[in-house]
Structure 1
Amino acid sequence: MAMNASLITPVLLFSMDSDQFWAAPTTTGGLKAYYQQYGSQVDNYQIELIHFKNEDAILRWQQSWQETYLPAIKAAEQAGQQAIIGFSMYTWNAAEFLDIIHQIKAQCPNVLCIAGGPHVQQAEDYLGEDPIDIIILGEGETSFQEILDTPQRIHWPNINGIAYLENGDIHKTPERQRRKYLDELPSALDVIDLCDAEGKPLYDSISYETSRGCPFKCAFCEWGTGAIGSKMYQFSMDRVRSDWHKIVNAGIKDIWLADSNFGALKEDLEKAQLICELKEKTGLPSSFATSWSKKHSPRVQEIVLLLHKNGLLPHYQLALQTLTPLALELSNRQNMAANKYEPIARQMAAEGVPIAAELIWGLPGDNLAEFENNLDQLLKTFPNLNIFAYTLLPGTEFYEKRLEYKIETIPVAGYGKAKGEYVVACHTFDRDEGIEGYFLITAHILFAHGHLIPLAIRYLALQNGITTAPLLRTLLRAVCVEYQDDLPNLDLQDRMVVYENRATIFTCILKNPLRLYALFETEIIRYLQDTNNGHLSDATRHILSLDYALSPRCGEATKANYEFNFNAVSSKAALDCLSLPSAADLSPETHQVLCVKSPGGVGTILKDPDGGAWLRGEIEYQQADIQTVKILHPNVKPTQAIQ
Structure 2
Amino acid sequence: MNTGTTRVTFVELPLYPNTLPLASGYLQAYAQQDPAVAAAYRFTIVSQPADTPVEDVLTALLAEEDSAVYALSCYLWNMRAMTRLLDGLLERRPDAYVILGGPQVMNHAAAYVPPGRDRVVVCNGEGEATFSAFLSVLLAEKPDFAAVPGISFYDGDTLRTTEEPARLRDLDEIPSPFAAGIFDGGDYTFAVVETNRGCPFKCSYCYWGAATNDKVYRWDQDRVLDDLTWISEHGVESVFLADANWGALPRDVDLTRHLVACKQRNGYPMMISMQAAKNRPDRVTEITELLVEGGLLASQPVSLQTMSDETLKIVDRANIRESTYVTLQAKLKEKRISSYTELIWPLPGETLRSFREGIDRLCRSGADAIVTYPQLLLHNTPMHAQQEVLGIRTVRVDDAVAEADVVVGTKWVDRADYDSGIWFTYAVISLYNGRAAQFTARELDRDGTCSYGDFLTAAAEFFRGRADDPICAFFADSVSGLRNYDINNTGKVLHYVLHSHRAELDRLLRDFLREKGWLDTARRQAAFELDLLARPYVYREPFVPPSLPLQHLEITSASRYAVELRASTEALDLLGAPAGVGQVRADHAGRRKMPYPRHRSLDHNAAYCQAMMNRLRDIMPSWSALAPDGRAEVFDAA
Please identify, of 364-373 and 275-284, the stretch whose mean Cα deviation from structure 2 is larger.
Answer: 275-284
Residues 190-209 of structure 1: pairs in structure 2 closer than 5 A: 190-193=180-183, 195=185, 202-209=187-194
State the AA in 2 paired with 1:519. Answer: R
Residues 85-484 of structure 1: pairs in structure 2 closer than 5 A: 85-124=70-109, 126-129=111-114, 133-151=120-138, 154-189=143-178, 190-193=180-183, 195=185, 202-226=187-211, 228-296=212-280, 298-381=282-365, 382-414=367-399, 419-446=403-430, 448-449=432-433, 451=434, 453=436, 455-456=438-439, 459=442, 463=446, 464=448, 465-466=450-451, 467-474=454-461, 476-477=463-464, 480-483=467-470
The 1:623–1:468 alpha-carbon spacing in structure 2 relative to 1, beyond 3 Å, is closer
How many Å separate the matches in 1 of 2:562 and 2:542?
A: 17
Match of 1:592 among 551, 570, 585: 585
Please identify, of 211-220 and 100-109, the stretch whose mean Cα deviation from structure 2 is larger.
Answer: 100-109
Q: Deviations over 1:554-592 (max 9, x none)?
A: 899x94343444499x98xxxxxxxx9456579994243
How many Å separate the matches in 2 of 1:532 and 1:169?
A: 74
How many Å separate the matches in 2 of 1:315 and 1:278?
A: 20
Please identify, of 135-144 and 309-318, the stretch whose mean Cα deviation from structure 2 is larger.
Answer: 309-318
Displacement of 1:309:
3.1
How many Å separate the matches in 2 of 1:299 and 1:514?
A: 39
How many Å separate the matches in 2 of 1:116 and 1:378?
A: 39
How many Å separate the matches in 2 of 1:497 and 1:140?
A: 33
Match of 1:545 among 504, 519, 533: 533
Please tell me whether the aligned partners of residues 435 and 496 of structure 1 are also in contact (alpha carbons under 8 angstroms).
no
The 1:595–1:126 alpha-carbon spacing in structure 2 relative to 1, beyond 3 Å, is closer
Q: When the two structures are aligned, how many residues end up with a matched partner?
A: 599
Please tell me whether the aligned partners of residues 39 and 146 of structure 1 are also in contact (alpha carbons under 8 angstroms).
no
Q: Deviations over 1:13-56 (max 9, x none)?
A: 1112225x742111112112222233523233221111113423
Q: How does the TM-score come out when normalised to structure 2?
A: 0.83
Q: Deviations over 1:324-376 (max 9, x none)?
A: 12211110012232122211221212211222221110111111011000011
Please identify, of 601-610 and 114-123, the stretch whose mean Cα deviation from structure 2 is larger.
Answer: 601-610
Displacement of 1:251:
1.6
Instruction: List runs of 5+ in structure 1 lacking aligned partners.
Output: 1-5, 77-82, 197-201, 572-579
Please identify, of 209-218 and 304-313, the stretch whose mean Cα deviation from structure 2 is larger.
Answer: 304-313
How many Å separate the matches in 2 of 1:106 and 1:252?
A: 37
State the AA in 2 paired with 1:146. Answer: A
1:51 aligns with 2:47: yes
Please tell me whether the aligned partners of residues 583 and 626 of structure 2 are also in contact (alpha carbons under 8 angstroms).
no
Please identify, of 53-62 and 355-364, the stretch whose mean Cα deviation from structure 2 is larger.
Answer: 53-62
Displacement of 1:208:
0.4
Please identify, of 455-464 and 45-54, the stretch whose mean Cα deviation from structure 2 is larger.
Answer: 455-464
Displacement of 1:218:
0.5
Corresponding residue of 1:610: 610
The 1:403–1:533 alpha-carbon spacing in structure 2 relative to 1, beyond 3 Å, is farther
How many Å separate the matches in 2 of 1:262 and 1:485?
A: 38
How many Å separate the matches in 1 of 2:373 and 2:264?
A: 35
Corresponding residue of 2:553: none
1:10 aligns with 2:11: no
State the AA in 2 paired with 1:353. Answer: I
Please tell me whether the aligned partners of residues 260 and 292 of structure 1 are also in contact (alpha carbons under 8 angstroms).
yes
How many Å separate the matches in 1 of 2:425 and 2:338?
A: 21
Displacement of 1:402:
0.4
State the AA in 2 paired with 1:606. Answer: N
Please identify, of 457-466 and 237-246, the stretch whose mean Cα deviation from structure 2 is larger.
Answer: 457-466
How many Å separate the matches in 2 of 1:493 and 1:256?
A: 28
Q: Deviations over 1:242-296 (max 9, x none)?
A: 1111111112222211100111122222212222222333333222221111102
Instruction: List runs of 5+ in structure 2 lacking aligned partners.
Output: 544-558
The 1:394–1:275 alpha-carbon spacing in structure 2 relative to 1, beyond 3 Å, is same
Q: Deviations over 1:294-336 (max 9, x none)?
A: 1025433433333333333332222111121221111001223
How many Å separate the matches in 2 of 1:303 and 1:99?
A: 42
Please tell me whether the aligned partners of residues 467 and 473 of structure 2 are also in contact (alpha carbons under 8 angstroms).
no
Please identify, of 376-385 and 464-473, the stretch whose mean Cα deviation from structure 2 is larger.
Answer: 464-473
Q: For residue 278 of structure 2, give the secondary structure of its aligned residue in structure 1.
A: coil
How many Å separate the matches in 2 of 1:461 and 1:121?
A: 51
Please identify, of 473-482 and 382-391, the stretch whose mean Cα deviation from structure 2 is larger.
Answer: 473-482
The 1:565–1:630 alpha-carbon spacing in structure 2 relative to 1, beyond 3 Å, is closer
Please tell me whether the aligned partners of residues 555 and 601 of structure 1 are also in contact (alpha carbons under 8 angstroms).
no
Please tell me whether the aligned partners of residues 192 and 240 of structure 2 are also in contact (alpha carbons under 8 angstroms).
yes
Sequence identity percentage: 20
Q: For residue 583 of structure 2, give the secondary structure of its aligned residue in structure 1.
A: coil
How many Å separate the matches in 1 of 2:308 and 2:472?
A: 39
The 1:420–1:350 alpha-carbon spacing in structure 2 relative to 1, beyond 3 Å, is same
How many Å separate the matches in 1 of 2:537 and 2:214?
A: 44
Corresponding residue of 1:562: 563
Please identify, of 50-59 and 159-168, the stretch whose mean Cα deviation from structure 2 is larger.
Answer: 50-59
The 1:458–1:358 alpha-carbon spacing in structure 2 relative to 1, beyond 3 Å, is farther
Please identify, of 591-600 and 356-365, the stretch whose mean Cα deviation from structure 2 is larger.
Answer: 591-600
